[in-house]
Amino acid sequence: MPADTPHIAALIVAAGRGTRAGGGIPKQYQSLGGMPLLSRTVAVFAAHEKVAAVVVVIGEGDGPLAEATLPEGVARVTGGATRGASVAAGLAALPEGVSHVLIHDGARPLVSKALISQVIQALEESQGAAPALAVTDALWRAGDGAVTGIQPRDGLWRAQTPQGFALEAIRAAHAAFEGVAADDVEVALAAGLAVALVPGEERNIKVTHPGDFARAERILKEDQMDMRVGNGFDVHRFGPGDHVVLCGVTVPHGRGLQGHSDADVGMHAVTDAIYGALAEGDIGRHFPPSDPQWKGAASEIFLKHAVELAGARGFRLGNVDLTLICERPKIGPHAGAMQAEMARIMGCDGGRVSVKATTSERLGFTGREEGIAAMATVVLVAA
């Protein structure tokens, strides 16, 4: 897949009746955590920056339910009598220009952005890619209520979705396939397509039975409680110059800050706080000072990387609290601009970013005006 111009669509298969889950309507339209299950599934793909289009395959007669469930901009098409027929109908309905497709069960509402990203990345090297979990339990054969034999589990995996493919290849595979397939990987393998294996996620369950709703609810509650806190601290000394860059804002000053990059001590402290919350080390791990390409680099590069990494891991910014420690320059007149610039870079509301300053009462290296220190605390919450 060309890394520069991928055009990826998500095909959400939601045409089944879901009778084993109970309820008066198909399971995909039943409430999960206060919103329709299918709405949760679609929302994850619609929010992914690399997914350009979302198409949902619905069941015959489900138009009114889908109308009330799906957001604007999400196309839908009526499926067939089998899963294969529904997928084929969805593939035919994808918009022009799509090069790759992610085929996902509508009844898997807890798929993460990180897992979607891993499948997309695997498609750069393979015609197909799909997530799975290794089988760890012992497996038995049984009949008439009794164990009849042992099934070796070596090399066995539990299949999940989304299953990603080069669009024209999977279209041709479905057109040539005869019989009923368990999933699209089976169709792909029958056509001789290579399918890369991506580590799946235990949380990516398929809601099938009534008890699965309760399990999914518990996972959602755990997500809401998942919160990370990180601290960052940085120091840069003064040297020759006529300005300093703090939180992306140029502030006139009789000296400049010295460092391998642009020496933005405030942005460095916030970046390290995000990495710390993710247990991902510090800036030096991701952007080694020994690498000449980062000499004089804008610290915005580092901060954006940390924020994107948090997003890929399923977190969004809760809030940032940054304190700059120096005698001069005076931070107060520039604090508002710094707050706005940091919020822009991190893609969040300005009300989630605090930029303030203090002095060290003429004590220590900051008191002697030898440099500036910064300390930051960041809270990340599950997206």
* DSSP codes joined into one string, 222-238: HHHH-EEEEEEEEEEEE
**What are the structural domains, with CATH classification, of the chain?**
8-225 (3.90.550.10), 227-382 (3.30.1330.50)
- Residue pair 126/149 in contact (Cβ under 8 Å)? The answer is no
- Residue pair 60/78 in contact (Cβ under 8 Å)? The answer is yes
Q: Is the dihedral of CA 249, 255, 257, 260 positive or negative?
A: positive
- Residue pair 316/380 in contact (Cβ under 8 Å)? The answer is yes
* Amino acid, res. 22: G
pLDDT tens digit string along 214-271? 999 998 888 777 789 999 999 999 999 999 999 999 999 999 999 888 999 999 999 9
Q: What pLDDT is stored for residue 2 in this prediction?
A: 43
**CA–CA distance, 244 with 235 (Å, rounded to integer):** 13
The DSSP call for residue 27 is G
* Cα–Cα distances in angstroms (integers) from residue 354 to residues 282, 336, 361, 378, in the given order: 21, 9, 22, 10
Write the CB contacts of 67 (distance below 8 Å, at least 6 apart in sequence).
Answer: none
Which among 20, 1, 8 is positioned nearest to 211, based on CA atoms? Answer: 20
pLDDT tens digit string along 260-317? 889 999 999 999 999 999 999 999 999 998 888 888 899 999 999 999 999 888 889 9
Q: What pLDDT is stored for residue 19 in this prediction?
A: 65
Per DSSP bridges, beta strands 100-105 and 35-36 are: unpaired
pLDDT over 90 for what percent of the chain? 84
* Amino acid, res. 187: V
Q: Is the pLDDT reported for residue 4 higher than 60?
A: no
Q: Is the dihedral of CA 342, 346, 347, 352 positive or negative?
A: negative
Query: 49: how many CB neighbours lie within 10 A of its CB?
Result: 9
Average pLDDT, whole number, for the chain?
93
Termini Cα distance of the chain: 28
Mean pLDDT for 204-221 is 92
Q: Is the dihedral of CA 296, 297, 300, 305 positive or negative?
A: negative
